[in-house]
Amino acid sequence: MDRIVILDTTMRDGEQAPGATMNLEDKVQIGRQLERLGIDVIEAGFPANSPQEVEAVAAVAKEIKRSKVAGLTRPVLSDIDACWEAVHHAENPRIHVFISTSDLHLERMLRKTREEVLEMSVKGVAHAKKYTDDVEFSPMDATRTDPVYLYQLLTAVIDAGATTINIADTVGYAIPDEFARFLTGIRENVPNVDKAVMSVHCHNDLGLAVANSLAAIKAGARQIEVCVNGLGERAGNASLEEVVMAISTRRDLLGAYHGLDTTQIYRTSRMVSDVTGMLIQANKAIVGANAFRHESGIHQDGVIKERTTYEIMDPKSIGLTSSVLHIGKTSGRAGFRSHLKDMGYDMTDQDFSKAWESFREVVSKKKYITDRDIEAIVAEELRSVDETYRLDEVHVTCGEPGIPTASVKIVDSEGREFIESAVGNGPVDAVYNAISKVIPVSNTLEEFTIKSITDSTESLGEVTIRIESNGQTFTGRGASTDIIVASARAYLNAINRLVSMQGLDSKGPVK
């Protein structure tokens, strides 16, 4: 059996999903978890986008020790230089060069000839090769590229030093058997193909990204590019959890294996969802809330008698547990910290102290605490790294009849207190109006979602919102046993992100 290299591009292609923007701290947090999961190559970003992206990719590169860290770049010498500036801090850096190759892209987007693109590609790969031996090359929109031209291009870039050639189904156009034949054609017509690892990068526009990725393994691909939760442009990329568990479950058919610790899959999925605010649909394969639930009486009877009658995977194999913590009001910090370590959290003393205080607040209101509650608590604390404004108090009156009214007290980073009241169409609207009086930053609420963490009336409520300001989208999340408090925390979390990203006044509200 051959080992399949897994390249995760959640922090690059995944971040391109509208509303999934990640700051430096988010990327470092996700990078640590991807390494814990055992990802072979972490594509941390597109450094030439901005100095801030160079800084974020460099921060990930400095943190990661075992996984390779890659940066994406066009075959433009200055872009490649910026990419190296960011990834050279890694123990195992990779430069990933890409350019469009289909006639449609060349004529309508790049305005270049095939010869010009071939020359740019070779020069770009050769320049990247001066920095590192690990150079990947991707022909963008490869599946709509003339095969004869693609063979010529791939032969040239491998001769120039590319050690991985990544065939990109950029618009999710391919059908599995067609894609397999396409890859077989490359293997048979690129004379030096054995000098490079064949990789694929599949998009999900027709819902076939995972199917195409698995067909590619059968056709000889030995690197698969994926995103956690299937994030990415438009309909997203091949889902990491689906590709990995398909390889694990159908090793007999695929004749290949991976090196990931699958027990970290569920936690990785939840972390990315928490950071990006991109909710996971209930019927999502592997990590959806219903993935291991059984409603039918026949199914329930079968699972009770023998789990494998209706479950082809053990939920524990992806790290899914429903354990209830045997710690409560009288438990100490040491026991809580020990449980966090068992769950895979390696927190600083400062972050742990914040999580501990939040835990004590929740445990005073909730009889039973589950691992999912702990994940929500930790995620909330890790989300508020740049906390310019902090919610200190919120009070609401509402009912029918009556006018919903809210009062809030907010403390800024300098310790100043601001108190405002407002009315609204409902209690949440009133709270948001009051917060907006304290922090009058122009924004529009685009999405508001409430869900329960566990199935009980005393469950933590988790609120996810998206706000838009000056063409940028900012995600905020908050959790509490009180959904009004959770809503206020989510809005303030989004406002803090907005203030941080847009460089607005951080010395208190502007009156």
Q: Specify the amino acid at residue 409.
A: K
CA distance 249 to 258: 11
Q: What is the mean pLDDT of the segment spanning 43-69?
A: 96
The answer to whether residue 506 scores a pLDDT higher than 50 is no
The answer to whether residue 507 scores a pLDDT higher than 50 is no
Q: What is the mean pLDDT of the segment spanning 274-280?
A: 85
The answer to whether residue 187 scores a pLDDT higher than 90 is yes
What tokens appear for 348 in the block? 């600083």
CA distance 194 to 399: 71
Q: For 24-46, what is each residue's pLDDT tens digit? A: 888 999 999 999 999 999 999 99
Specify the higher pLDDT residue, 86 or 26.
86
From 325-329, 356-360, 447-451, the region with the lowest mean pLDDT? 325-329
pLDDT of residue 511: 38
Q: Specify the amino acid at residue 506.
A: S
Q: Residue 278: pLDDT band by 50, 70, 90 thresholds?
A: confident
Q: Residue 119: pLDDT band by 50, 70, 90 thresholds?
A: very high
The answer to whether residue 454 scores a pLDDT higher than 70 is no
**Within 10 A of 502 (CB to CB), how many other CB atoms are there?**
12
Judged by DSSP in three states, 279 sits in coil
Q: Report in angstroms the alpha-carbon separations of 247 from 228, 240, 260, 273, 495.
A: 16, 11, 11, 23, 41
In whole numbers, what is the pLDDT of the chain averaged over residues?
89
Place of tokens 């990315």: 272
Torsion of CA 98, 102, 106, 110, to 10 degrees: -30
Say if residue 111 is exposed, middle or buried (CB neighbours under 10 Å; 0-12, 13-18, 19+): exposed
Q: Are 63 and 56 in contact (CB under 8 A)?
A: no
Q: Are 101 and 148 in contact (CB under 8 A)?
A: no
Q: For 328-364, what is each residue's pLDDT tens digit? A: 555 677 777 877 777 767 777 877 888 888 788 777 7
pLDDT of residue 386: 62
Place of tokens 């909710």: 279
Q: For 132-155, what is each residue's pLDDT tens digit? A: 999 999 999 999 999 999 999 999
Q: Residue 510: pLDDT band by 50, 70, 90 thresholds?
A: very low
Q: What is the mean pLDDT of the segment spanning 192-206?
A: 98
* Selection from 49, 43, 37 nearest residue 68 by Cα: 43
pLDDT of residue 326: 52
Q: What is the mean pLDDT of the segment spanning 37-57?
A: 96
Q: What is the mean pLDDT of the segment spanning 10-33?
A: 90
Q: Which helix (H) or strand (E) holds 377?
A: helix 371-383
* Selection from 494, 480, 500, 349 nearest residue 413 by Cα: 500
Q: What φ, ψ does residue 44 adopt, rounded to 5°? A: -90, -10
Q: Residue 381: pLDDT band by 50, 70, 90 thresholds?
A: low
The answer to whether residue 457 scores a pLDDT higher than 70 is no
Specify the higher pLDDT residue, 355 or 455.
355
The answer to whether residue 387 scores a pLDDT higher than 80 is no
Q: Residue 368: pLDDT band by 50, 70, 90 thresholds?
A: low
Percent of the chain with pLDDT over 90: 63
pLDDT of residue 322: 55
Q: Are 379 and 477 in contact (CB under 8 A)?
A: yes
**Kind of pairing between the strands at 472-480 and 461-469:** antiparallel
Q: Are 292 and 318 in contact (CB under 8 A)?
A: no
Say if residue 57 is exposed, middle or buried (CB neighbours under 10 Å; 0-12, 13-18, 19+): buried
Q: What is the mean pLDDT of the segment spanning 365-382?
A: 70
Q: What is the mean pLDDT of the segment spanning 11-20?
A: 89
CA distance 508 to 415: 9
What tokens appear for 265 in the block? 């899959």
pLDDT of residue 330: 56
The answer to whether residue 118 scores a pLDDT higher than 70 is yes
The answer to whether residue 385 scores a pLDDT higher than 60 is no
Beta bridge partners of 198: 165
Alpha helices, DSSP H, located in 384-475: 427-438
Q: Report in angstroms the alpha-carbon separations of 124 from 46, 112, 161, 199.
A: 15, 16, 10, 19
From 117-126, 163-172, 474-483, the region with the lowest mean pLDDT? 474-483
Q: What is the mean pLDDT of the segment spanning 479-495?
A: 91
Q: Are 117 and 102 in contact (CB under 8 A)?
A: no
pLDDT of residue 509: 46
325-330: long-range pairs with CB below 8 Å, 24+? 325/368, 325/369, 325/370, 325/371, 325/374, 327/363, 327/369, 328/363, 328/369, 329/360, 329/363, 329/364
pLDDT of residue 170: 98
Q: For 287-323, what is each residue's pLDDT tens digit? A: 988 888 776 676 666 767 777 787 888 888 998 865 5
* Selection from 318, 256, 309 nearest residue 285 by Cα: 318
pLDDT of residue 282: 86
Q: Residue 53: pLDDT band by 50, 70, 90 thresholds?
A: very high
Place of tokens 């928490």: 274
Q: Please give the model's pTM, rounded to 2 decimal places.
A: 0.82
DSSP 295-349: -SHHHHHHHHH-GGGT-SS-GGGGT---PBPS--TT--HHHHHHHHHHTT----H
> Within 13 Å of residue 286, how many CA atoms lie on the same side as its CB?
27
> Within 13 Å of residue 431, how many CA atoms lie on the same side as its CB?
22
Q: What is the mean pLDDT of the segment spanning 7-27?
A: 90
